[in-house]
Amino acid sequence: MASTLISCLVFAIFTSQATASHFRGGIITWKPDESIANKVTFNFRLAFRRSYRSSYFCDSAMVAQQSIVGSGGRWYANHDLGIYSRLALGDTGYHCTDFSVNEDWTQGENTFNYTFPDEGPWLISYSGCCWISLTNGGNGNWLLSTTVNLTIRHDNGKINSSPISATSPIVRIQRGCPRTISIPAEDSDGDKVRCRWSTGSQRECGGICNGFYSGTLDEEKCTLRLHSNAALGWHAVAITLEDFPASTTNFQMATPFSHVSLQFLVHVAPSSGPCSRAPVLTGQSPDDGSCEEVPDGDTFYSIIEAKHIDSSRRIAEIVTVTPLYMHLTSLLNYTDHVGDSVYYKNVSWNPKLSQKGRHIFCFKAIDEYG
Ligand SMILES: *[C@@H]1O[C@H](CO)[C@@H](O)[C@H](O)[C@H]1NC(C)=O
Ligand SMILES: *[C@@H]1O[C@H](CO)[C@@H](O)[C@H](O)[C@H]1NC(C)=O
Ligand SMILES: *[C@@H]1O[C@H](CO)[C@@H](O)[C@H](O)[C@H]1NC(C)=O
Ligand SMILES: *[C@@H]1O[C@H](CO)[C@@H](O)[C@H](O)[C@H]1NC(C)=O
């Protein structure tokens, strides 16, 4: 009897994994805590299907309360030289900061501290199953990772901090329409950050390594140009960011200080009219790639505005990827001087002292067609 029960349970877990397809990407970054040897503060963002389970659901009330969703998984650390057995670090639960009803995802961030027994290098990762069913195949397993080397750097006498980045969990494109995605790449040490495709040999990407054939990556500018003949459906993109000494010219020969994996989804839809029919960000919206300094104790205010070139279409949502404690209003609208409907959200952010450092804020507008 007992064995029947167990195999039934295993079967149940397997079925739910095969059909669950709930992972939507993420990133993990880190910085050392200067005051305690080998203590590191990690910051991660994860995105999951909003309707997957009640434990992943999030709405604006939960964003306002910084509710934790997605708990129960764990980040692990492996020592490069295998001196220690695998260490269990923080839980994967995150404060929900953003969600999309139309695209059915929630995303958020969290931080945890860990004091390592030595300076490593350590490989930190979170893995599981499954991604959404992908056009570009793979077995659906996800794995996000970063390397942590706590040896003092020769060039600046400091311990390294990893690069940081962020993307919307889902980038939607219409087949036949050219599109270039800028991947933000920042580094608090002033290092040069490069982007490359993730590789399985370096344990950066689980089941989706080298699987994205529908784009060309500019490793220096960190831009991804999507091919106009990309196959329809869902593609997972796995990119690795690496930080190098600012003076580096030959990146093939140089050893990066760390790596960070960044993963997200690209959805390619059939052509449904001219390429310019997507919503555009207008007016007072911050420029793409712009950088704002927010002094201690200050509040950052902004407005994200969007309108549709095609007045027969409505903007359904302005979706965002926001740092913790950023406040956005619901979607508001007004009619501008040429009679078009303009949709907007007000943004305000009064960062906490613990958020000192660099953060990334991303946003886009989507219409009823995604
Ligand atoms: C991590 O350590 C810092 C510095 O000691 C502390 O301010 C912060 O609250 C800690 N974070 C967590 C998530 O425990
Ligand atoms: C760790 O960092 C130190 C200092 O930058 C460097 O000398 C060493 O080669 C790094 N180790 C690995 C395995 O990259
Ligand atoms: C603008 O906002 C109002 C109030 O929320 C709403 O009733 C109306 O449908 C919106 N107009 C458009 C064109 O979306
Ligand atoms: C949004 O910001 C504008 C400009 O600062 C302000 O006039 C308006 O009252 C704000 N709306 C809300 C709902 O906060």
Structure tokens that stand for 53 in this block: 């389970």
Q: What pLDDT sits at residue 139?
A: 65
Of the ligands numbered here, which is closest to the C-alpha atom of 332?
3
Which residues, other chains included, contact 206 with Cβ-Cβ below 8 Å and sequence gap of 6+?
127, 138, 141, 142, 143
Q: What pLDDT sits at residue 12?
A: 23
Local confidence pLDDT in tens for the 370 residues of the chain: 222 222 222 222 222 233 348 999 999 999 999 899 999 999 999 999 999 999 999 999 999 999 999 999 999 999 988 888 999 999 999 999 999 888 888 999 999 999 999 999 999 999 999 998 888 766 689 999 999 999 999 999 999 999 999 888 888 888 888 888 888 888 999 999 999 999 988 899 999 987 677 899 999 999 999 888 888 888 899 999 999 999 999 998 999 999 999 999 888 888 777 776 667 787 777 776 666 777 777 788 888 888 887 777 778 788 888 888 889 999 999 998 888 889 999 999 888 888 877 788 888 887 766 5
Query: Rounded to whole angstroms, how far apart are CA atoms 355 and 229?
Result: 42
As to burial, measured by CB atoms within 10 angstroms (0-12 exposed, 13-18 middle, 19+ buried), residue 119 is middle
Q: For residue 42, how far is its CA from the centre of ligand 1 (angstroms)?
A: 10
Q: Judge whether 153 and 100 are in contact, CB under 8 Å.
A: no
Of the ligands numbered here, which is closest to the C-alpha atom of 244?
2
Query: Rounded to whole angstroms, how far apart are CA atoms 250 and 315?
Result: 45
Report the greatest alpha carbon distance in the chain. 74
284 lines ligand 4 (CB under 6 A): no
Q: For residue 346, how far is its CA from the centre of ligand 4 (angstroms)?
A: 6
Q: Judge whether 124 and 77 are in contact, CB under 8 Å.
A: yes
Which residue CA neighbors atom 5 of ligand 3 most closely?
332
355 lines ligand 1 (CB under 6 A): no
Which residues, other chains included, contact 8 with Cβ-Cβ below 8 Å and sequence gap of 6+?
none
Q: Which atom of ligand 4 is nearest to the CA of 346?
A: 1
Q: What pLDDT sits at residue 15?
A: 28
Q: Which of 91, 354, 355 to mutate to test the pocket of ligand 1 (most atoms within 8 A of CB)?
A: 354
Q: What pLDDT sits at residue 1?
A: 22
φ, ψ dihedrals at 90, nearest 5°: -80, 165
314 lines ligand 3 (CB under 6 A): yes
Q: Judge whether 282 and 340 are in contact, CB under 8 Å.
A: no
As to burial, measured by CB atoms within 10 angstroms (0-12 exposed, 13-18 middle, 19+ buried), residue 249 is exposed
DSSP designation for 71 = B
Q: Write out the E strands in 175-232.
A: 179-182, 192-197, 215-218, 223-226
